[in-house]
């Protein structure tokens, strides 16, 4: 049997940890090279880019994720607050499996459930 799985906050936290551990760079709408240099789980991340850096509270990332879950579809203006890091939020969320894009005049991200095998119960 196949269950439909929609990505959740656990996937966001896992991606934050992976990006911080690897130092992998990613592109946002405002900067071609960004990376997370430090991650304090549950507290904050240090977001770096070519010219500067800033701390981003994990609670702000979670607030933007909750907006995404509530709306099911977001554009940058939907995740301006909390944190004022909408370009980062869009770049982060679009890297999560199960997130789709709706291109147009403005990029939208959409929560798209993915089919996953349903675990068998053994008893």
In this predicted model, what pLDDT tens digit does every residue of 14-41 receive, in sequence order?
Answer: 999 999 999 999 999 999 999 999 999 9
Q: Tokens 């071609």, residue? A: 32
Domain assignment present for 49: yes
Question: Is residue 121 in some structural domain?
Answer: no
Beta bridge partners of 110: 73, 100
How many other β-carbons are positioned within 10 Å of the β-carbon of residue 61?
Answer: 24
In a domain, 82, yes or no: yes
Model pTM score: 0.86
Q: What is the pLDDT of residue 116?
A: 47
In this prediction, residue 2 has a pLDDT band, given cuts at 50, 70 and 90, of low
The verdict on residue 102 lying in a domain is yes
d(CA 110, CA 11): 15
Mean pLDDT of the chain: 89
Count CB-CB contacts under 10 A for residue 64: 25
Q: What's the domain count of the chain?
A: 1
Say if residue 3's pLDDT is above 80. no
């Amino acid at each position: 049997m196949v269950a439909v799985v929609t990505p959740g906050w656990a996937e966001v936290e896992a991606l934050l940890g992976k990006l911080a551990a690897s130092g992998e760079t990613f592109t946002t709408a405002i900067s071609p090279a960004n990376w997370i240099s430090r991650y304090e789980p549950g507290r904050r991340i240090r977001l770096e880019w070519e010219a500067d850096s800033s701390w981003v509270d994990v609670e702000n990332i979670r607030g933007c994720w909750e907006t995404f879950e509530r709306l099911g579809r977001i554009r940058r203006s939907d995740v301006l607050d909390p944190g004022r890091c909408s370009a980062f939020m869009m770049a982060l969320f679009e890297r999560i499996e199960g997130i789709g894009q709706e291109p147009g005049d403005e990029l939208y991200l959409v929560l798209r459930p993915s089919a996953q095998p349903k675990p068998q119960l053994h008893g």
